[in-house]
Amino acid sequence: MVGWSTFILPFLFVLTPSLLMDGSWTEIVFNFSRVTFGIYLGTVAAVGFSLAPLNWIGRIVYAAVALVVVLPPETFQDAIWFNAAGVTAAVIVLTIDWMRQRALHRQGKAAEVVAMPY
């Protein structure tokens, strides 16, 4: 289920040369961080668990945000702004997920939330 990243990484290496340490150090650090974060978001969508089990809508939201974050900035002009919007949306989604988890924990339903959905 988590092997999707091994499928997408070769394409990212070809489309984003800075992942192969070809470019300035700021570009290398930015793209490595962006792709690592995007792979985390995609894995959350594939597994269906972030801080709590996700329903199918949450999985779709995480998958869409992951695709926007992983989109190579060299794809088209101003694609970097799509990456920035994706990272911002991911932070918002993770914050909402964290707040939902805390609210359930305060209500004493944390044991129900931690149970895996399988």
Tell me the helix, strand and coil percentages in the chain, rounded to 5. 75, 0, 25
C-beta of residue 117 within 8 angstroms of C-beta of residue 48: yes
C-beta of residue 85 within 8 angstroms of C-beta of residue 93: no
pTM of the model: 0.80
Q: What is the pLDDT of residues 7-51, one digit of tens each?
A: 888 888 888 888 888 888 998 998 899 999 999 999 999 888 887
C-beta of residue 115 within 8 angstroms of C-beta of residue 90: no
